[in-house]
Amino acid sequence: MKVEIAPEYGHFINGRFVAPQSGEHFESINPATEETLSRLANGSGADVDGAVVAARKAFKRWSRCRAQERAGYLFRIARRIQERARELAVLETVDCGKPIRESRDVDLPLVAQHFFHHAGWCDKLAWAFPGRSPEPLGVCAQVIPWNFPLLMAAWKIAPAIACGNTVVLKPAETTSLTALRLAEILQEVELPPGVVNIITGDGETGRALTEHADVDKVAFTGSTEVGKRIAAACAPTRKRLTLELGGKSPNIIFADAAIDQAVEGVVAGIFFNQGEVCCAGSRVLIEESVLEEVVEKLKRRMKNLRLGDPLDKNTDVGAINSKRQLETIQRYLEIGASEAAKRFDTNCPLPSRGYWCRPTLFTGVQPAATIAREEIFGPVVCTMSFRTAEEAVERANNTNYGLSAGVWTQKGSKALWMARQLKAGVVWCNTFNEFDAASPFGGWKESGFGREGGRAGLLAYLQ
């Protein structure tokens, strides 16, 4: 399927696409081919201000709009996303570099599900929080990263508007196209102007938005470094804040696990979306007695991964989102080599253009090693061993992050015990990277605070 992409886009403010006040544009490219896809508006302080003014004005009516009516808009957005899912999946893959199989079978169904789920909450908020009067916060500034562009937009927008807030969203500079296509859908369903505004631009645009004085709530998903900067800027203001940040999640395999299934879980945990996943299972902890078996099977499985054209439905590993991210990953590969761990990669040929990284495994990594501590955000995994469940817990929790964890065991009591011990927002047992709009997602420690999804996620958008 070929998707149409306009040669140039403006910001989406007050229900219309408008040219940037500065007249400046930047290029959005396809990371698998390095071709320019479109030119996007560079958001200045004046553009941000226009969007916040529109959102403020719209808030007056949207916050008082009947709950069933709000639900109707969310429902129609969800339906329209389903109807245009193929086009949106192709656009996401072209802009972002992720395999079409993933954008089609994972991202898009979850995007629609998120709007359906929140459509259902609109008229049940009083029921969800008995004894309180569920009041929206006001204007929400939302800033998102490039790894799940449309899904992150849905995670942000759906609960915010379901609760009666209005939104100014800034997608990541390298992946704004699906958010702009979502803006077209908002026009199609005749969402009242100003309820959702979308401003494109870089980190400076994000800063102008999150620091705007007439914003009531900031919701940020991205790196821990930028998250801390935003938290500092919000501290002396009235703004509410939620942060979804980085991770270095453990995937823990016990000797009594179904080993083949666990190896699949490791592959899904770290090579899904090229490892550019905040909750990626980037540290694999393996019980000593099955260490060799797991590593051998993992290597065999890695050799079968198909890297290449993201639009090919047989592709397992697509392109890295940007040159900058590829360079970051390559730096970690060099550090990994010098940290004296053994290195294995799939040795597959790489396309001549675009940004590519082979799935890579470092074995025998010390817990103190840089590659075992820092988020790489690429298809790079390291393995470590443990002897007892207590040691597994200690190693797993020995990190500043706490976003997710995986546990592989056939023993239910052990899985439950581990889930209680692990300091992480999500613990998966005998699976990994499963998401559901009804299930809250979010971090402990430096992985952030606030939840997205389910009843807990609504709290982030209510007084």
Residues with catalytic roles = 244, 278
CB of 137 to ligand NAP, least distance (A): 19
Which residue in the set 112, 172, 291, 320 belongs to the binding site for ligand NAP (CB under 6 A)? Answer: 172
Which residue is nearest to ligand NAP, using beta carbons?
206
Say whether residue 206 binds ligand NAP (CB under 6 A): yes
Q: ∠ CA 426-96-98 to the nearest 5 degrees?
A: 65
Site for ligand NAP in 36-95 (CB under 6 A): none
**Which are the contacts of 209, defined by CB distance < 8 A and separation ≥ 6?**
43, 48, 51, 52, 141, 143, 168, 170, 199, 215
Output 51 or 144, the one with its CB closest to ligand NAP.
144
Site for ligand NAP in 442-461 (CB under 6 A): 443, 447-448
Report how far residue 364's alpha carbon sits from residue 385's, in angstroms, rounded to the nearest whole number.
8
Say whether residue 174 binds Mg ion (CB under 5 A): yes
CB of 285 to ligand NAP, least distance (A): 20
Residue pair 11/41 in contact by the 8 Å Cβ criterion: yes
Site for ligand NAP in 319-378 (CB under 6 A): 375, 377
Report how far residue 223's alpha carbon sits from residue 199's, in angstroms, rounded to the nearest whole number.
20
CB of 152 to ligand NAP, least distance (A): 6
Report how far residue 457's alpha carbon sits from residue 159's, in angstroms, rounded to the nearest whole number.
7
Please tell me whether residue 22 adopts helix, strand or coil conformation.
coil
Report how far residue 404's alpha carbon sits from residue 390's, in angstroms, rounded to the nearest whole number.
18
For the chain, the straight-line distance linking the first and the last C-alpha, in angstroms and rounded, comes to: 44
Which residue in the set 14, 28, 42, 147 belongs to the binding site for ligand NAP (CB under 6 A)? Answer: 147
Query: Using CB distances below 5 to 8 A depending on partner kind, what does residue 226 bind out of ligand NAP, Mg ion, none?
Result: ligand NAP
Say whether residue 230 binds ligand NAP (CB under 6 A): yes
Report how far residue 382's alpha carbon sits from residue 339's, in angstroms, rounded to the nearest whole number.
12
# chain residues binding ligand NAP, by CB under 6 A: 30
CB of 298 to ligand NAP, least distance (A): 23
From edge to edge, which strands make up the β-sheet containing 404-408? 342-345, 360-363, 380-386, 283-287, 250-253, 404-408, 426-429
# chain residues binding Mg ion, by CB under 5 A: 3
Say whether residue 145 binds ligand NAP (CB under 6 A): yes
Q: Which stretch binds ligand NAP (CB under 6 A): 69-77, 131-139, 223-231, 405-413?
A: 223-231
Output 124 or 229, the one with its CB closest to ligand NAP.
229
One character per residue 17-36, x = contact with Mg ion (rule: CB under 5 A): -----------x--------
Residue 27: other Cβ atoms inside 10 A: 12
**Which are the contacts of 177, defined by CB distance < 8 A and separation ≥ 6?**
5, 9, 28, 37, 38, 91, 92, 94, 95, 149
Say whether residue 221 binds ligand NAP (CB under 6 A): yes
Which residue in the set 80, 156, 170, 239 belongs to the binding site for ligand NAP (CB under 6 A)? Answer: 170
Query: Using CB distances below 5 to 8 A depending on partner kind, what does residue 358 bind out of ligand NAP, Mg ion, none?
Result: none
Q: Which amino acid is at 86?
A: R
One character per residue 372-411, x = contact with ligand NAP (rule: CB under 6 A): ---x-x-------------------------x--------
Residue 415: other Cβ atoms inside 10 A: 18
The dihedral through the CA atoms of 58, 60, 61, 64 has a sign that is positive
One character per residue 233-272, x = contact with ligand NAP (rule: CB under 6 A): -----------xxxx-------------------------
DSSP one-letter code for 288: G
Report how far residue 198's alpha carbon sits from residue 105's, in angstroms, rounded to the nearest whole number.
26
Q: Strand ranges (DSSP E) for 156-276?
A: 166-170, 196-198, 217-221, 240-244, 250-253
DSSP one-letter code for 446: G
Q: Which stretch binds ligand NAP (CB under 6 A): 4-12, 117-125, 140-148, 407-415?
A: 140-148
Which residue in the set 72, 109, 120, 203 belongs to the binding site for ligand NAP (CB under 6 A)? Answer: 203
Q: Which stretch binds ligand NAP (CB under 6 A): 106-114, 142-150, 361-369, 455-463?
A: 142-150
Query: Using CB distances below 5 to 8 A depending on partner kind, what does residue 14 bind out of ligand NAP, Mg ion, none?
Result: none
Q: What is the token pair recorded at 86? A: 């193929």
**Which are the contacts of 79, defined by CB distance < 8 A and separation ≥ 6?**
112
Say whether residue 95 binds Mg ion (CB under 5 A): yes
Contacts with Mg ion by CB under 5 A lie at 28, 95, 174
What residue ranges bind ligand NAP (CB under 6 A)?
A: 143-147, 170, 172-173, 202-203, 206-207, 210, 221-223, 226, 229-230, 244-247, 278, 375, 377, 403, 443, 447-448
